[in-house]
Amino acid sequence: MKTKNAASKILWPASAETAAVRAKHLLPLPGPMFAKPVQIVEGRMQFLYDENGREYLDAFAGVATVSIGHCHPHFVQALRAQIDLLQHNPPLYLHPAVGAFAKRLAAKAKAVNPDMEVCFFTNSGSEANEMAAMLAKAHTGRHEFIAVQRSYHGRTLMTVALTGQHAWRNLSPYPVGVSFTPADYAYRFDGTAEQSTKAAVKGLAELLKTGTSGKIAGFFAETILGVGGAITPGKSYFTEAVELVHRHGGLYVCDEVQTGVGRTGRHFFGIQHWGAKPDIIVMAKGLGNGYPIGAVITTPEIAASVKGLLHYNTFGGGPMAMAAANAVLDVVEGSDLADNAERVGARLMAGLEDAAAKSDKIGQVRGMGLMIGVELVKDKKTKEPAPELALAVVDRMKDHGVLVGKGGLEGSTVRIKPPLCLTAADADRVAEVFARSLQEAS
Ligand SMILES: Cc1ncc(COP(=O)(O)O)c(C=O)c1O
């Protein structure tokens, strides 16, 4: 059956037809997010549209990926202009865009490490983390890494090895040499938030002594554990953890795949809220606003370690990706998106906190800016995770026209990560629809 989209006049297949074709011709995908699948065919800023022209407020941004907004006019114009000129240019030939953009991105990274100067571009966060691991090995001459329990770093062999969640480590074993340090997960720690941070840092110190040779190549950490359910470390966590890592000769690889580009509010990088100094920053997702891109940013000294080691990326730094990322930076720098994320995020968190005060099912509202998680529990006293409830809430919210995600090791956290152009009125709507959906689903 064909239906007509009110907005675009394009004839799209019905969602059931698309779902049937996908089930037959694509590898089985993770369990359905909604009881009845949603088909999205258009987007405008913070809104998405299905094949019938039904509008959804997008509060998940394609998993924290659409930063400046769907089909932002400046972004569309930049990509249209580039596609008329050249789509592909391998690293074998010069093109001015890649160096110019690297200079621009590295200038931003100087806010966290004044020595940042050099970039490498890939097509995804996984590939960028792979390059970060290669750099750390080449620079230190070592092969052991530490990652954080409940982390997510990608779907290549090395990045699965760095991922601390059993469901994502299926078909184990993965490359050896990665040990996991406890997350600073205050909600599930028996004590205060300060004690949780102290225990997490102590756990890292113990791990360095007992689970590694003490001579590590690097420490991989997201600033906020994204897929892990917006677990947000305490204020002193990163400065203390990174001091330990540096004392053991390792590099700190800061995974900003979800938290970069202003998502955590006020700053371009999430780590700026903690004041720790990364040796390597990894970006992806929001940097391309939906166009595939990954980036590694580091110092000239670390970058020099791969001199003479063959490596290559067919599409990384290509003119289309550079046009996309350049347009994203134009918008981020020319508007107050990061401040908006801070303001609107605080308002949304306050609305969710209001809901938490009235419900026995909301264990914790956490996050920063527009990187928010709401952990649902069977009851507040036992803190038993409530994954079925989280799934039901996500489904109800969709019925009410708001798209959010679900995650966390136990699958019990509702993840809210909208495009950064979300308005105050949108934030109020997300909080209201969340509270209503929770009530209906409980
Ligand atoms: C923190 C983090 N790192 C890395 C990745 C992997 O990025 P990609 O899916 O682009 O390979 C993800 C993806 O969700 C992520 O959330």
The per-residue pLDDT for range 232-251, each reduced to its tens digit, is 999 999 999 999 999 999 99
Q: What percent of the chain has pLDDT over 70?
A: 98
Atom of ligand 1 nearest to the CA of 126: 11
pTM: 0.97
Q: Which of 428, 406, 422, 404 is nearest to 354 (CA)?
A: 428
Residue 258 CB less than 6 A away from ligand 1: yes
Whole-angstrom Cα distance, residue 387 to residue 278?
Answer: 34
The per-residue pLDDT for range 32-52, each reduced to its tens digit, is 678 889 999 999 999 999 999
Whole-angstrom Cα distance, residue 364 to residue 414?
Answer: 11
**Ligand 1, residues 122, 220, 258: which to mutate, most atoms within 8 A of Cβ?**
258
pLDDT score recorded for residue 9 = 75
Class of domain 78-334: alpha beta
**Ligand 1, residues 60, 126, 156: which to mutate, most atoms within 8 A of Cβ?**
126
pLDDT score recorded for residue 8 = 65
Q: Where are the domains of the chain?
A: 2-64+342-441, 78-334
Distance 185 CA to ligand 1 centre (A): 20
CATH number of 2-64+342-441: 3.90.1150.10
Distance 257 CA to ligand 1 centre (A): 6
**Ligand 1, residues 131, 257, 282, 287: which to mutate, most atoms within 8 A of Cβ?**
257
* CA distances to 49, 348, 399, 406, 420 from 55, in Å: 5, 21, 11, 21, 18
Q: Which of 131, 151, 128, 149 is nearest to 139 (CA)?
A: 131
pLDDT score recorded for residue 7 = 58
Residue 232 CB less than 6 A away from ligand 1: no
Task: Report the interhelical angle of 96-109 vs 319-334 (nearest 10°).
Answer: 40
What residue owns the CA closest to ligand 1's atom 4? Answer: 153
**Strands 280-283, 251-255: pairing kind:** parallel
Residue 126 CB less than 6 A away from ligand 1: yes
| Equal fold, 2-64+342-441 vs 78-334 | no
pLDDT score recorded for residue 111 = 97
Residue 284 CB less than 6 A away from ligand 1: yes
Residue 116 has pLDDT above 60, yes or no: yes
